[in-house]
Amino acid sequence: MALYGLTIHELQAMLAGRHVSAVELTRAVLDRIAAVEDRVRAYITLDPEGALQQAAAADKKLGAGSGGPLCGIPFSIKDVLCTDGLRTTCGSRILENFVPPYDATAIVKLKQAGAVLLGKVSMDEFAMGSTSENCAFGPPHNPWNTAYICGGSSGGSAASVAADECIASLGTDTGGSIRQPASHCGVVGLKPTYGRVSRYGLVAFASSLDQAGPLTKDVTDCALVMNAISGHDPRDSTSVEREVPDFCRSLQDGLGGMKVGIPKEYFIEGLDPEVEKAVMGGIRHLREAGAEIVEVSLPHTDYCVAVYYLVAPAEASSNLARYDGVRYGLRDTSADTLLDMYRDSRSAGFGPEVKRRILIGTYALSSGYYDAYYKKASQVRTLITEDFKRAFAACDLLASPVTPTPAWKLAAKVDDPLSVYLSDILTISANLTGIPAISVPCGFSGAGLPIGLQLQAAHFNEEKLFRAAYNLEQRLDISRLRPANL
């Protein structure tokens, strides 16, 4: 197999043994990008010169035996994580020319582990969306069929991994934005526990929901990346001071003694039959691996979408107030007054979906409506959290679909935002509650599009997720499959 098609753990041994150099690997991935990027369109900013310089430095460390666990491995980075000296746009015109003077902590940790950063990949503007079609620079395309969405908001991350335009990627998840594109593109994607990975340098959408995490070619790679990026960060007040285990030790065969709960509210009318068939097939494999399958209930599931689309826009309204054309970002220079400059800069810089969410959030936080909307949503969020606590008292993990349907065609739902919002119903609860969740490929639709199975665990129980995900992956043996049409 070509170098760009290998996994991190396959390449680690080759790089350490000097059977291949980091420069050779990086050039192979850059050549792959040159060959397929015109169809996938995953990258917003590509930095080939910088990547080759990083690879040369990695080779020196490998030669000296001082390379980190990801030394020489080429990564793509979602364009919402700050990268020192490399443009960070958040998929928005308002930050089109913004170059951060510092690295996000997750990027610092990747660099400390020796990773090579290829560039920044496409996303829904400010991570607001489920298709990546809200990107101001054009949407990425699903590598399995480029007429289809690749999901969002970390669509470029998922597409770049599936198309072998990187070896692994870093994305973020605010309501399913790692897991949903991972499902649609047939890769592994993990949303860690809130507080497990630092949010310092992650450009904020909804601060109580955002979390950075990996998108990789298989579960082992996912564990390796989590080992590198996890840990307490004093610069992030929400970062939890908790010991980070070696997640690779969880990759053991067999699920004896583990209970997997099936939420009855997640298998209801409206679930695509092909998705249900693939997910139920995956659950049978979990049973065959030794897990006990039990039914559980999450009775407040019907309220999740409404709660999320009050909490997230409210926080977005507050966070995006900083984009005023004064300190950084786009500024309208033709305005006559300060108020005109604010208005015109934001009108020109923000896209329709961002404006829609700012308006929703500002309304929900406004005088006379706060108690009826944001406060009530926060109270129901607590009830949703209690549902999960009760469920995890009865089981170790929850298994479900990631999304109700496979990927749909590009532009099919651009005029129906509510329909797109509802597609997040199975993922947003993990963000509202702060629990970890992973998407693992479990099958394909009749049209040949990937389908993912979601596993959720209680707070800081990523080890259980990895154990179950690894067993599922080993029995299905489909994570190694890649699009044949590129």
Percentage of the chain lying above the pLDDT 70 cut: 100
- pLDDT at residue 273 above 90? yes
Q: Which listed residue (76, 122, 153, 317) is catalytic? A: 153
Q: CA angle, 77 as apex, 72 and 82 as ends, to 5°?
A: 110
Q: Is 177 a catalytic residue?
A: yes
Per-residue model confidence (pLDDT) at position 245: 97
Band of pLDDT at residue 268, cut at 50, 70 and 90 = confident
CB 407 within 8 A of CB 151: yes
Q: Report how far residue 406's alpha carbon sits from residue 228's, in angstroms, rounded to the nearest whole number.
A: 31
Band of pLDDT at residue 72, cut at 50, 70 and 90 = very high
Higher-pLDDT residue of 274, 268: 274
Q: Report how far residue 450's alpha carbon sits from residue 426's, in angstroms, rounded to the nearest whole number.
A: 17
Q: Which residues face 148 on adjacent strands?
A: 409
- pLDDT at residue 199 above 90? yes
pLDDT in tens, 163-173: 999 999 999 99
Band of pLDDT at residue 479, cut at 50, 70 and 90 = confident
Q: Report how far residue 223's alpha carbon sits from residue 220's, in angstroms, rounded to the nearest whole number.
A: 5
- pLDDT at residue 17 above 90? yes
- pLDDT at residue 128 above 90? yes
Q: Is 153 a catalytic residue?
A: yes
Instruction: Specify the 3-state DSSP secondary structure of 472.
Output: helix
Q: Which listed residue (169, 177, 183, 429) is catalytic? A: 177
Query: pTM higher than 0.75 for the full model?
Result: yes
Per-residue model confidence (pLDDT) at position 152: 96
Q: Which listed residue (21, 76, 78, 122) is catalytic? A: 78
Q: Which CATH architecture has domain 3-256+462-476?
A: Alpha-Beta Complex (3.90)
> If you count them, how many residues does the chain have?
486
Q: CA angle, 195 as apex, 329 and 42 as ends, to 5°?
A: 50
Per-residue model confidence (pLDDT) at position 269: 82
pLDDT in tens, 362-383: 999 998 899 999 999 999 999 9
Q: Is 78 a catalytic residue?
A: yes
Pairing mode, strands 397-401 and 450-457: antiparallel
Domain boundaries, the chain: 3-256+462-476
Q: Report how far residue 166's alpha carbon sits from residue 8's, in angstroms, rounded to the nearest whole number.
A: 10
Per-residue model confidence (pLDDT) at position 207: 97
174, 281, 310, 347 from 254: Cα distances, Å: 32, 17, 41, 55
- pLDDT at residue 1 above 90? no
Burial class (CB in 10 A: 0-12, 13-18, 19+), 163: buried
Per-residue model confidence (pLDDT) at position 447: 96
Give the DSSP letter string of 232-282.
--TT-TT----PPP-GGGG--S--TT-EEEEEGGGSSTTS-HHHHHHHHHH
Token pair for 77: 């980075």
Mean pLDDT of the chain: 97
